[in-house]
Amino acid sequence: MSSPTLQTTHILLLGAGELGTAFLTHLRPLLNIHITIGIRTPSKYTHLVSPTTPPSNRNMSLTSIDLTAPSSTLSQTFSHFDVIISATGFAQSPASIVKLAEEVLEAGRIRQARLQSQMPSNPETKEKDSKIWFFPWQWGVDYDITGDGQGLMPLFGAQRDVRNLLRREADEAGVKWTVVSTGIFMSFLFEAFWGIVDHSNDSSATPSLKQSGAGKGDANGSVTVHALRDWEHKVTVTDVDDIARVLARIISGDVDAENKILYTAGETVSYADLADIVERVSGKNVIREVWDLDQLEEEVKRHPEDGIKKYRLVFAREGVWWDKKGTVNEELGMNLLGVEEYARELFGSSSRGV
């Protein structure tokens, strides 16, 4: 992208859900790019490329890609793109994440061979710009540290495996990669099913805040905040729109990102800070309860099929937060949405001005 030439950079965006749609918003204004959105059913996504979509839809198109298709077909398709970004969500199998990384590596080899055959006498063809730039689906925690969560999270284990695969093979395959670790999405922190900020007995809460069925609280409408492990334990969160803003800066070449793991943080909060924030913005009594490691482990033993309980236990351990100082958003001087700002919006007008 930082190339001074006016060649169009062809971006393949896999998935156009919550994250992919935010990516589109912030990638679309970049100069000299074309974004192909790869999803299974393009007819579901025509609104994204409709003639009325601002600011312009000329640099976007839809294509049908099913990532469960044979690897050879997908690698051929991928080899025609300069940048491949995966935003295919959480509902993937661990094997599919590794499969995609392997297919991108093969696409890099196909692309290199094609370039060599087109310009056999030009040694420059194996240079940087011939490489595919891959952003794997790693918009989460530090999977090198979490590993597979001691067997609880095969998906996280696969994400670590993808990192190792890229470290081992990407250079030879003609692929450069960037992992962007974002922590959990800001919205996730307040999701009712996550249970950390629990509004279920808050009589004045908006419907979106009240979905949880497992809540605690008193009759006067209190909010319960649960700490994972203890009150000093932390979690890093970044708003989806901010992840997309940072990605646009990375793709624009504003940071050194080649073969690197970059970190973002809208904020890194301790659970004690979170409880204080909720108390401040809601103006309600906040009940503070710790789910310590023993409790979380016991819950997993009692409900081995419950994915959220496993997730909570893994989030009570290491690798789920980092200092905001070392993040790419700090390096770029970007102002990202913080937890308090987000919570004020979420708690709505009833709490504004509190």
Binding site for ligand NAP (CB under 6 A): 14-20, 39-41, 44, 65-68, 87-91, 139-140, 182, 184-185, 188
Of all helices (H) and strands (E), which one includes residue 269? strand 267-270
Least gap, CB of 184 to ligand NAP (angstroms):
4
Least gap, CB of 284 to ligand NAP (angstroms):
25
Per the listing, tokens 């924030």 go with: 277
Q: Which is nearer to ligand NAP, 81 or 139 (CB)?
A: 139
**291 closest CA partner among 314, 265, 269:** 314
Q: Which is nearer to ligand NAP, 44 or 303 (CB)?
A: 44
Q: Which is nearer to ligand NAP, 89 or 154 (CB)?
A: 89
Q: Which is nearer to ligand NAP, 243 or 286 (CB)?
A: 243
Cα distance between residue 209 and residue 292, in whole Å:
24
Cα distance between residue 178 and residue 86, in whole Å:
11
Helices (H), ranges, the chain: 18-27, 71-78, 94-118, 143-146, 154-173, 186-189, 240-251, 271-282, 293-302, 307-315, 328-331, 339-347
Least gap, CB of 189 to ligand NAP (angstroms):
9
Q: Which is nearer to ligand NAP, 131 or 226 (CB)?
A: 226
Write the CA distances from 172 to 62, 109, 136, 244, 330, integer angstroms: 31, 8, 18, 29, 32
Residue 238 is given by DSSP the state: E
Least gap, CB of 89 to ligand NAP (angstroms):
3
Least gap, CB of 265 to ligand NAP (angstroms):
12
Q: Which is nearer to ligand NAP, 315 or 347 (CB)?
A: 315
Q: Which is nearer to ligand NAP, 222 or 238 (CB)?
A: 238
Least gap, CB of 256 to ligand NAP (angstroms):
23
**264 closest CA partner among 237, 289, 291, 287:** 237
Cα distance between residue 232 and residue 281, in whole Å:
21
Q: How do beta strands 83-86 and 9-14 pair?
A: parallel
Which residue number places its CB atom closest to ligand NAP? 17
Cα distance between residue 248 and residue 29, in whole Å:
9
Cα angle 354, 243, 348 (rounded to 5 degrees) comes to 20
Least gap, CB of 186 to ligand NAP (angstroms):
9
